[in-house]
């Protein structure tokens, strides 16, 4: 079902600051969807559990918070979203961002796309505003072919910061992205 009748599995909706990438430090409402189509061994998010919510319920929950920015995240939000939900959020005056692994097509009405491609995952999107790679020592040249304005390299759960810094220093197209929400102990 689409539109108002659609129900989506939501892990949580919360208000915080964006902790990673281009919008670090920006107040945002996070809509975390349940489930993912990949099983990355380094995933630091518990996202399998959830409750079923209608678009009306999702938008009402988002509107409880003063931020204009809404971040659709997961898990993998592309398993659940469609143009109708994005239109509803935009109609509520929100700037809609998504954090995706890029393996599934996205509606074309999303304002900002953060793609965090994973090794072995086949990209199904061609529009992305920023690329965010969790660094584990992999070669970056394949990611540099992606069409994006911003490239971020992020240590894997903070465990390899010196190696990530060294890599950014050798590849100045990339910027370091730390999980600042974890550093300052916020959600």
Task: Mark whether 55 is an active-site residue.
Answer: no
Q: Which of 26, 150, 180, 181 is catalytic?
A: 181
Task: Mark whether 36 is an active-site residue.
Answer: yes
In angstroms, how far apart are the furthest CA atoms of the chain?
A: 50
Task: Mark whether 57 is an active-site residue.
Answer: no
Task: Mark whether 99 is an active-site residue.
Answer: yes
Neighbours of 34 (CB within 10 A): 21
Instruction: Please name the residues in contact with 45: beta carbons below 8 A apart, sequence gap of 6 or more.
Output: 32, 74, 75
Q: Which of 14, 44, 48, 119 is catalytic?
A: 44
Q: Which of 12, 22, 24, 40 is catalytic?
A: 40
Nearest Cα neighbor of 115 from 38, 34, 15, 49 is: 38
Task: Mark whether 87 is an active-site residue.
Answer: no
Q: Which of 23, 30, 97, 115 is catalytic?
A: 30
DSSP letter (8 states) at residue 4: G
Between CA 28 and CA 101 the distance in angstroms is: 20
Q: Which of 36, 97, 115, 167 is catalytic?
A: 36
CB-CB contact of 174 with 154 (8 Å): no
Q: Which of 14, 42, 45, 119 is catalytic?
A: 45
Instruction: Output Rg (C-alpha) for the chain, integer angstroms.
Output: 16
Residue 50: its H or E element: none
> Catalytic positions, please?
30, 36, 40, 43-45, 99, 181
């Amino acid at each position: 079902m689409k539109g108002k009748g659609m129900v989506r599995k939501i892990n949580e909706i919360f208000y915080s600051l964006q902790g990673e990438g281009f919008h670090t430090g920006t107040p945002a409402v996070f809509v975390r969807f349940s489930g993912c189509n990949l099983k990355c061994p380094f995933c630091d998010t518990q996202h399998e559990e959830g409750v079923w919510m209608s678009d009306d319920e999702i938008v009402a929950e988002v509107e409880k918070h003063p931020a204009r920015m809404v971040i659709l995240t997961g898990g993998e939000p592309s398993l659940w979203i469609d143009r109708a939900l994005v239109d509803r959020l935009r109609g509520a005056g929100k700037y809609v961002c998504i954090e995706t692994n890029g393996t599934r097509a996205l509606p074309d009405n999303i304002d900002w796309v953060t793609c965090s491609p994973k090794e072995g995952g086949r990209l199904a999107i061609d529009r992305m505003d920023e690329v965010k790679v969790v660094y584990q020592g992999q070669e970056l040249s394949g990611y540099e072919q992606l069409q994006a304005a911003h490239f971020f390299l992020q240590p894997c759960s903070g465990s390899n910061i010196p190696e990530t810094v060294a890599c950014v220093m050798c590849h100045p197209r990339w910027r370091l992205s730390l999980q600042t929400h974890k550093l300052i102990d916020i959600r």
